[in-house]
């Protein structure tokens, strides 16, 4: 059989996750970089290769959205920060994604869209209309949500004769995270308590939206109708000054936070997701150490733990990149983890 031509991919945003994705697209033979959209003026006009430590590839970064939409490509890796981080809302990201779909390109995005059905028929109709117009599909992905808190529980549910409660815990260490915008400005590490309460509002909106999608996806796939998704959060203050890659955390400022999202049925949790974020896990003893845990209560009881994910940003990027072929091959429409084959690292294995 003749070799399949490489899939043409546009990288939309080159932040912490986008840069990992861009590097994969440039180094894997099954893909060809068709364009790069950037938000940083200093990156405009630069060759995309050196931007991620690779040789020049001949594709220059640009910030003209219309020009990028006009490019011929199979898929767009849409990886900006969600609009809610900047005081916007889901509608802004929805319009961008719909514009890409309408231009005839499949979209894999890390801004949400894991289960857009939770926003009601108007949002679903808007997305489906754009998919039909462009003959394209949209797929929301990530690690958590997008894998740990939805794909893994659903995979394990196949072993359940009775399922009473799903509990997922993520504990993340942000010591080496390079983005000050995310770590200090959005998550709120290094802020005094009175400032934190105001500054964290955009992040709270994003968290609530993302994890509501994730919890509703799992419940819906298992035939459970949730009454609501409840969210609570709290924070811990630093006892001493310490430095992380993104900045300095002073004594008395926020150094960790804990978020709990519970999908309730008649007041009882059917699924609970606990997220712990630490500026430096070695400096914060409260709450669990970094890693993932998944506990399914029922018959049988199941507990899975992942002690460490050393490069979570790379994992989030890889999950999106590894989904490109399946999304491009799927019928037009909204796609979730329920619709696509497992995205594996096929083609990426390396032997020493």
For 71-87, write each residue's pLDDT tens digit. Answer: 999 999 999 988 877 76
pLDDT confidence of residue 2 = 56
For 254-281, write each residue's pLDDT tens digit. Answer: 999 999 999 999 999 999 999 999 999 9
Q: How far apart are CA 219 and CA 222, in angstroms?
A: 5
CATH 3.30.1180.20 fits 7-142+314-335, yes or no: no
For 89-108, write each residue's pLDDT tens digit. Answer: 778 999 999 999 999 999 99
pLDDT confidence of residue 344 = 64
Distance from CA of residue 183 to its chain's centroid? 16
pLDDT-above-70 percentage for the chain: 95
Which one is predicted more confidently, 204 or 121? Answer: 121
DSSP string, 288-301: PPSEEEEEEEEES-
Q: 230: which strand partners?
A: 262
Q: Ramachandran region of residue 20, left (φ > 0), alpha (ψ -120 to 50) or beta?
A: alpha
Detail the DSSP E strand segments found in 47-140: 61-62, 75-78, 106-109, 137-140
Which one is predicted more confidently, 205 or 298? Answer: 298
Which one is predicted more confidently, 210 or 125? Answer: 125
283 three-state secondary structure: coil
CB 90 within 8 A of CB 206: no
Burial 35-54 (b: 16+ CB within 10 A, else e): bbbbeeeebeebebbebbee
Question: What number is the average pLDDT over the span 320-342?
Answer: 92
What is the pLDDT confidence band of residue 349, given thresholds at 50, 70 and 90?
low
The pTM of the whole model exceeds 0.85: yes
What is the pLDDT confidence band of residue 328, given thresholds at 50, 70 and 90?
very high
Query: How does DSSP classify residue 333?
Result: E
For 22-69, write each residue's pLDDT tens digit. Answer: 999 999 999 999 999 999 999 999 999 999 999 999 999 999 999 999
What is the pLDDT confidence band of residue 318, given thresholds at 50, 70 and 90?
very high
pLDDT confidence of residue 89 = 73
Domain ranges of the chain: 7-142+314-335, 151-308
Question: What number is the average pLDDT over the span 206-210?
Answer: 86
Q: Is the pLDDT of residue 350 over 70?
A: no
Average predicted confidence (pLDDT) for the chain: 92
pLDDT confidence of residue 343 = 66
What residues have CB less than 8 Å from 154, skipping those under 6 apart?
218, 221, 222, 337, 338
């Amino acid at each position: 059989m003749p070799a399949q031509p490489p899939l043409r991919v546009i990288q939309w945003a080159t932040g912490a996750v986008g840069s990992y994705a861009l590097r994969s697209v440039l180094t894997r033979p099954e893909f060809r970089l068709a364009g790069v959209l950037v938000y940083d003026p200093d990156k405009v006009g630069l060759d995309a290769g050196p931007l991620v430590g690779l040789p020049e590839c001949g594709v220059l970064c640009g910030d003209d959205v219309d020009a990028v939409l006009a490019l011929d490509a199979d898929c767009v890796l849409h990886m900006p920060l969600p609009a809610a981080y900047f005081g916007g809302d889901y509608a802004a990201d929805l319009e961008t994604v719909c514009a890409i779909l309408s231009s005839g390109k499949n979209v894999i995005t890390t801004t949400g869209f894991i289960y857009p059905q939770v926003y009601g028929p108007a949002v679903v109709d808007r997305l489906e209309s754009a998919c039909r117009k462009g003959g394209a599909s949209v797929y929301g992905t990530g690690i958590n949500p997008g894998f740990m808190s939805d794909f893994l529980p659903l995979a394990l549910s196949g072993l359940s004769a009775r399922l009473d409660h799903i509990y997922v815990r993520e504990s993340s260490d942000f010591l080496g995270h390079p983005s000050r915008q995310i770590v200090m400005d959005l998550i709120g590490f290094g802020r005094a308590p009175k400032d934190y309460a105001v500054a964290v509002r955009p992040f709270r909106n994003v968290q609530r939206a993302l994890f509501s999608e994730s919890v509703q996806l799992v419940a819906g796939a298992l035939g459970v109708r949730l009454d609501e998704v409840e969210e609570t959060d709290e924070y811990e203050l630093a006892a001493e000054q310490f430095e992380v890659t993104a900045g300095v955390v002073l004594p008395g400022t926020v150094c960790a936070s804990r978020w709990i999202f519970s999908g309730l049925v008649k007041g009882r949790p059917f699924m609970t997701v606990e997220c712990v974020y630490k500026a430096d896990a070695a400096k914060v003893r409260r709450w669990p150490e970094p890693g993932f845990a998944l506990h399914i209560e029922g018959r049988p009881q199941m507990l899975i733990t992942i002690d460490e994910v050393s490069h979570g940003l790379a994992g989030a990027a890889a999950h999106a990149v590894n989904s490109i072929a399946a999304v491009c091959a799927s019928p037009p429409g909204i796609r979730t983890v329920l619709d696509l084959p497992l995205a594996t690292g096929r083609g990426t294995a390396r032997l020493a």
